[in-house]
Every structure is written in C-alpha cells, then in structure tokens.
Structure 1
Amino acid sequence: MKKGALLLLGLIVFVTASFAQETKAQSQQAAMQQLRWLVGRWSGTSEVNVNDSKQITYVQEIITPMLNNTIFTVSARGTALDSATNKMTQVYSSFGVISYNVKDKQYRWRTWRNPGDSYDEANFKVGENSFEFISNENGGYMRYKANLNENGQWVETGEYSKDKQTWGLFINMTLNKKR
C-alpha cells in the first residue's frame, strides 16, 4: 500500500512538473513570436558618427531561433574600409541571446562583443515589428531603437547620452533580409 501511494505521489509530481515546463515553453514561444520578423540573414550598411567623422560599416546579422523557438541567437559582424591599408577590416563582432522571462514577463538581451566586452539588458522593450533597449557602456548610455519598415528593411538607430537626458545620434543602420 505504501509503495502504491509513493508511486502515485511520484507520478503526480512528475506530471505537474512536466505540465509546468510545457506551459512555460509555450509562453516563451508566444512571446518570441513578436520578434519573428528578425529571424533570418540580414545585410546592409550603417553610418557611424565618431568624433565628427562618419564611417560606413558593412553589417551582417544572422538571427536564429533555438531551443524550440524559446530563444533567438544574434550573430553580428561589421567591416569597414581601412583608409591606411585600403582593405576591408573587421570593426566589430558580437553574439547575443534574446529570451523571454515568463515569471517577470520581460524580454532579456545578453550580448558579448569582441574583444571580450559584454553587457546584460533587462530593459528590452518589444513592440509591433520593433524593439528598443538601453545599455550602460562607454561611460554613459546607449539607446538603440529598431523596426521593420514598410519596405521590409530592418532600420536601427543608436544614440549616446552621459545622463539619459540629452541624446546624440551615433549610428544609423539599414539592413535587407537575404532571400
């Protein structure tokens, strides 16, 4: 009798835990659907303003759904023409993960950049075919806003601020999805 009761209790715990995990995954998948427009290979250019000079960067972004569409990975790299050597050189490389925390009902953004820099974003806001976030870096704050425009392009701007009050544009990017 004791064995039967223990077996039944174990079965109830197992079923309950399995159901909770399935429900959590379904909630994550539903939340990630709002970012489905990002999935794929993108390429284009960005104009970066640094110290009153403009640099054109050639950008490639690959967004891949992983773990049964509960997270998205983001691989990015940018190259630019080196005026000294007249050759294309890598100016940045990054890898990120976008996820959704069911308990907090909040998207998460974690990024690692070459060479060894990383930051964690808890304030990743998602809208209809858009997202934005603020990172704390370079002695201030960087605010990024992106959306899918009417031409099916990923358009993103980046602004910098020392105090979160006054913002200055430093990057403007337009990417096309590869078919």
Structure 2
Amino acid sequence: MLQRRTHFAHVLTVMVFAAAPQLNAAEWTLTPSTQVTFGIKSVGLSIVEGKFNKVQSELKFDPEIPQKGTTELVLDVDSLSLSNPSLKGLILSSEFFDAEEFKQVRFTSKQIKPIAYARYQITGDLTIRGVTKPVSFDTMMNPNINNPRLMDIQSNTTINRSDFGMRKALGGVGEQVNIQLKGQWKVN
C-alpha cells in the first residue's frame, strides 16, 4: 500500500511540474479582442478616441519573478480607427502621426516593477514619429479565473503629444493623450 501511495505521489509530482511551464510560461501574446486605445480632448469638451486595430505583441513574464519580464508592442498607424472618422486625415497627417513616413508606434519595456498583488509599473521607451521618450504604465495583470492560459490586463499612461513632435494645440485638440491597453495576454 505504501509503495502504491509513493508511486501515486511521484506521478502527481511529475504531472504538476509538467503543467507548471504551461501555467507560468514565459512567452505571451495579446488576444485579438484586446484593445489598444487613446483618448484626447477636442475643443476642450469632447473626447476623440482612437483604436489601433493591428497590434504585434510579445510579453516574456513569469508572475513568480515579474522583475525579469519584458514586453514589446508594435502598433500599425494605418490601422487606426477613430470615434470621429472625419478626423482621420488630420490625425494621420504630418501634424500628428505623420503616417506616410512613420508607419508604426512602438513600446519596448525596460522594467516591470511589482507594486502590489497583480499591480505593476511598466516603464520603457515609447516611439512615435521617430521620437523616443520614456513612459511608465500603471498596469494590472491578473490570472484569468476561467482560463489559466490567459492573464487579464489593464494598463494606462498619459503623455503630452508635443513631446513626440506633434503640433501643439492644433485646431482645439488637447495636449494630453490618455493611452490604454485592455484585454488579455495568452500564453504561447
């Protein structure tokens, strides 16, 4: 009987360790339903929202050692959709994204710092229009309660668009831009 229990314990241990790399796998990508959006005040009252519809993503992350994690996002500027479609020409013009010359927005992390349970400060370099500046995202990453291969994410930061070479206060468009990533990472 003892031998059977020992064998069962050994089999159970092997199964747990075999499953662990899947649950704490180092490589993740954003699910297609994840949204990378921004909001900016227009004429001081309304908020124009934009959404990047083509996003390349990579996260190397283990919740047990988050400080060793890295992430990179590449956003296709031409894939941008806006809450006010009539502004798309202006937003893609040389006054703002200059989409003809600069096809992508890129974020590359330098540090993932744990703040509290499932809360992190992710700092790194944001490149827009060929201008790279340091930014910090306030981020929540929680294991998904329904699927252990998913991790829910909500991440926010605010930037000044003129820091990235976008014309300041053009046509009543505000200076501060709120950037948000909301959705899920899926383990590869």
TM-score range (shorter-chain normalised) is 0.3 to 0.5
Q: Which has the higher strand share?
A: 1
Greater RCO (CA < 8 Å, at least 6 residues apart):
2
TM-score between both structures, scaled by the size of structure 1: 0.42
TM-score scaled to structure 2, two decimals?
0.41
